[in-house]
Chain A
Amino acid sequence: MTFKEKYKEELSDTRFSENFKGNTVSLLTQAAERKDNVFMTSKRKFIKTVALVAAIIMTLSLSAFAMISFLSSADVATHFGNKELAVLFEKSDFEPETIKGEDYSVTFMGTAQGENICEINGITTNEGRTYAVYAVYRNDGTALDILDGNPIHIIPVSDGQRINTLTSYGMSASCFVKDGILYAMYDYTDLKAFTDIDISLMAFESSVSPSKALTTNEKGEIVFADDYNGFKGEFSLK
C-alpha cells in the first residue's frame, strides 16, 4: 500500500457529525432565504422606481439609457465591505467604457490592483491582485434579477497564450443588483505583473463556456468564435 492510499484510507475513516450535511443545508437555506428577502424588498422598491422613471421618460421623451445612473466602482467595493479597495477606486482616474450588445450593455467601471488590498470573497491575501468592476444592464430597461445570476462573464486573456492561462491563476466574482443594474466585482490574479504581454478582458454570455465563446485564430490571437452569437465585448486593461 502506498502512502497516498494509506493516508486516504485513514482520513476517510474520520468520523464527523452524522447529521452534518443535513444541518448545514438547513443552516444555509435559512441564511439564503434571509438574504433573498432583502433582495425581494429591494425588488419591490425597484418596481415602484421603474414605474416612476417610466412615467418621467414618457413625459420628457428621453431614452432609458440616458436615465441610467450608476453606482461608482468605489460604491461597489464599499458594498462588499472593502474600504481599502474603495479608496483605491476613488483615487483612480479611470474612464468608464461601455459596450452595447443586442440584449445587454456592459460598462467597465474601474480597475485597481496592489498588495494587501485586504479581504475579499472570504480570502485575505497579501498577494498582488487585480480587481475590476463592471455594470451589466438590459438595453430594454427591464431589471436584472440577482437570482438569475450574472448574465455576462468577463475573463482576462492575452494573445499568444491559452484562453485559460490567466484565469488558471485563480479568479472569482461577486455580484449584486441595485435598481435593476447588476454590479460585478471580479478578483483576478495581479494582471499588471504580466508586464510583457497585452491583456484584454473578454466579455461573453455566462451560459457559454470560455472555450465555446472564444477561440485562438491562426495568428495566435484570442477572438470570439465564429459560431458564438451572444454578447461580445472586449475591454483593454489600461
Chain B
Amino acid sequence: MYSFTGNEYIEKAVENYSDAMLNAAYSILKSTADAEDVVQEAFLKYIRKRPVFNSDEHEKAWLIRVTINTAKDMLKSSERKNLPICEDILYNQIDESQKTANSVLECVFNLEEKYRIIIHLYYYEEYSLKEIASILQLPLATVGTRLSRGRKILKTMLKGEFDL
C-alpha cells in the first residue's frame, strides 16, 4: 500500500503505468488524442479517490480498469452516438500515421470492441484470463469465449500468416 506523501506517487504512477493505459485506451478508441484524454481523466479519478492497493500489480490493474471504463464511456457519449459508427467506418478513422501494409494492428482494430480489448490485454499486457476477468469484471467463461472468437476472426483476417 502506498502512503500518499508529497506528489512523488503521481510521478511514479505516470511513469510506470501511463504507457499501458495509453495503449489500452488506444486499442478501444483508435485515436491517440482521445486515448490521451481518457488516460488523464483516469489519473484524475486516481487522484480524487486515492484508493488503497495491495501491490504495484493491483494498482496497475485498477488504473487499466478505470481507463477501459472511461474509454467505453467516451465511446458511448452522445457526441459519438450521433456519428454513423460502424466497424468499416471506424477502420478508416484509424490514425493514418499508424497504418502499415498488412498491419496486425489494423486487423485487431477491425475486431468488435468486446473482442479487441480482450485480445489487447491478453497479447500485449500478457494478463491471464482470470486477471482479465477481474479487470473487466466479466465472468471467466465470457472472457474465454470472447478471446477464442476474437482469435478465430483474427486468424481469418491474417490468412494464417501468424500463429495465434
A169 near B47: Cβ-Cβ < 8 Å: no
Of the residues A3, A146, A149, A167, contact of B1 by C-beta under 8 Å:
A149
Of the residues A1, A31, A35, A207, contact of B162 by C-beta under 8 Å:
A1
Of the residues A11, A122, A148, contact of B49 by C-beta under 8 Å:
A122
B51 near A174: Cβ-Cβ < 8 Å: yes
A28 near B66: Cβ-Cβ < 8 Å: no
With a cutoff of 8 Å between Cβ atoms, the chain A residues found around residue B98 in the complex are 10, 13-15
Interface residues of B toward A: which range?
A: 35 or more
Interface set of A (CB-CB < 8 Å, partner B): 1-4, 6-8, 10-11, 13-17, 20-21, 24-25, 27-29, 31-33, 35, 80, 121-125, 127, 146-150, 153, 155, 167-170, 172-175, 184, 206-207, 209-210
> 15 other contacts beyond A35-B47, A170-B134, with CB at 8 A cut-off?
A3-B164, A7-B124, A8-B124, A16-B26, A16-B32, A20-B18, A27-B40, A29-B7, A31-B47, A121-B49, A125-B137, A127-B137, A147-B5, A148-B4, A206-B1
For this complex, 22 residue pairs linking A to B, each with C-beta atoms less than 8 Å apart, are A7-B105, A7-B108, A7-B123, A7-B124, A10-B100, A10-B103, A11-B105, A13-B98, A14-B98, A15-B97, A24-B39, A25-B14, A27-B44, A28-B43, A31-B44, A121-B45, A122-B70, A124-B73, A148-B4, A155-B54, A168-B130, A175-B50
